[in-house]
Structure formats: structure tokens, C-alpha cells
């Protein structure tokens, strides 16, 4: 009887494998489980004009998380930005720099979203603005700047979640915008450069 019971349990587990969400929750959180990880990276986007240089780059990862909608349907309803690798961006400048600034923006795209209220962002205590639509959620982190004679500026963000209650997440984009104000002769000029990358779940 015991041998028969074990055989029945094994057969049942093969027909209906346990959800990956069972056990430790991990970074996806309760009720979600890992779909896969993506890399977001763009390096050394720059502009060289004579002795003046401005470049920007970033790198980080994103985890896509599935939500059980029914027995046969799973949708990517959550992403963990900056996991399993934190999001780092930087800008470098060379020349008679008066001011160097950097801004990092994260956009999560989706389809079949009911409306903008379907989004929520697990981010607090950070200088950032959030905006939502039925197609995307955008987190724009505050611009950071350094003054004269500073050649390098960097930004780092730990992991945070972005969750949907309808539709499905289709990708994540990161963009960094660097700007330098510099002196050339008696003039003060401004130059800008952008790095950008988009990842889509497999």
C-alpha cells in the first residue's frame, strides 16, 4: 500500500509540477516566481570636440516575475529592477568644465493594460518622479550635478519592484542623459549625450 501511494504521488507531481513560487519567495515576492533575468547595458556613448570630452554609460540587470493567473496562464506582472545586479550609471567629462550633470530614467513597457492605475512602484525615500499610462511606467530619477573641476559623476540604485494588476510586461528600458556646461574662450557652451538600452523577456 505504501509503495502504491508513493507511485501515485510521483505520477501526480509529474502531471502537475509544483510552482517555482513555492518555498523561498526570493526577490519576486509572494505569489510570483522567476521567469528570467535580463541585462541592461550601454557603454561609452560619447562626444569629442577638440580637447572636450563627454561620455556616459550604465549597466544593471532586471528580473522578470510571473504571476499565476489561472492553472494554464502565467503573465509577467512584476519586474525587479537592479536585480541581481544593481543599476549603475556614470558620466565623464574633460575640458574646462563648469558643471556636469547626469539623469537616469527607467521605463517599463506593457500591453493590454486596463489603465494607468494598474501600475505600482515599490520605491520610497528616493528622489524620483513616476508617471504611468496604459502602455508604460516611467521612473525618472532626480538629476545629479557636480561643479567645476569635477570630471566624473555616478549614480547607483538598489533593487525595487514595479508591478502590474492587468496586462503583461513586455520589456524594460534604461536611459542616461549626461550634460556638461563648459568654457571655450569667453563663451559658456552646453553639450549633451545619451546612452540607452532595452531588454525584452525571453
Over residues 105-131, the mean pLDDT reads: 97
Q: What is the pLDDT of residues 70-97, one digit of tens each?
A: 777 899 999 999 999 999 999 999 988 9
Mean pLDDT across the stretch 28-43? Answer: 95
Model pTM score = 0.85
Residue 14: pLDDT over 70? no
Q: Could you give the C-alpha distances from 117 to 66, 136, 166, 185, in angstroms and in order? A: 20, 11, 10, 52
First to last CA, the chain: 45
Check whether 5 has a pLDDT greater than 70.
no
How do residues 125-148 score in pLDDT, each as one tens digit? 999 999 999 999 999 999 999 998
The residues, ordered by sequence, that sit 6+ positions from 187 with a Cβ below 8 Å of its Cβ are none
What ranges do the domains of the chain cover?
A: 26-199
How far, CA to CA in Å, does 11 sit from each of 2, 5, 14, 18, 154? 14, 10, 5, 12, 54
- Quickly state the pLDDT bin for 24 (edges 50, 70, 90): very low
Q: Is the pLDDT of residue 2 over 60?
A: no
Amino acid at each position: 500500500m505504501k509503495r502504491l501511494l508513493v507511485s501515485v504521488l510521483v505520477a501526480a507531481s509529474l502531471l502537475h509540477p509544483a510552482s517555482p513560487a513555492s518555498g523561498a519567495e526570493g526577490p519576486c515576492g509572494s505569489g510570483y516566481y522567476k521567469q528570467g533575468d535580463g541585462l541592461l547595458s550601454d557603454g561609452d556613448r560619447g562626444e569629442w570636440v577638440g580637447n572636450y570630452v563627454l561620455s556616459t554609460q550604465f549597466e544593471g540587470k532586471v528580473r522578470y516575475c510571473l504571476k499565476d493567473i489561472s492553472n494554464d496562464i502565467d503573465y509577467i506582472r512584476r519586474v525587479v529592477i537592479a536585480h541581481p545586479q544593481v543599476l549603475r550609471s556614470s558620466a565623464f567629462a574633460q575640458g574646462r568644465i563648469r558643471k556636469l550633470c547626469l539623469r537616469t530614467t527607467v521605463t517599463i513597457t506593457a500591453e493590454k493594460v486596463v489603465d494607468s492605475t494598474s501600475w505600482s512602484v515599490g520605491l520610497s525615500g528616493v528622489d524620483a518622479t513616476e508617471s504611468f499610462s496604459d502602455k508604460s511606467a516611467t521612473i525618472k530619477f532626480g538629476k545629479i550635478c557636480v561643479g567645476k573641476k569635477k570630471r566624473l559623476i555616478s549614480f547607483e540604485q538598489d533593487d525595487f519592484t514595479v508591478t502590474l494588476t492587468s496586462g503583461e510586461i513586455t520589456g524594460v528600458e534604461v536611459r542616461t542623459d549626461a550634460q556638461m556646461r563648459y568654457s571655450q574662450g569667453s563663451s559658456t557652451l552646453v553639450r549633451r549625450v545619451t546612452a540607452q538600452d532595452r531588454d525584452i523577456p525571453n
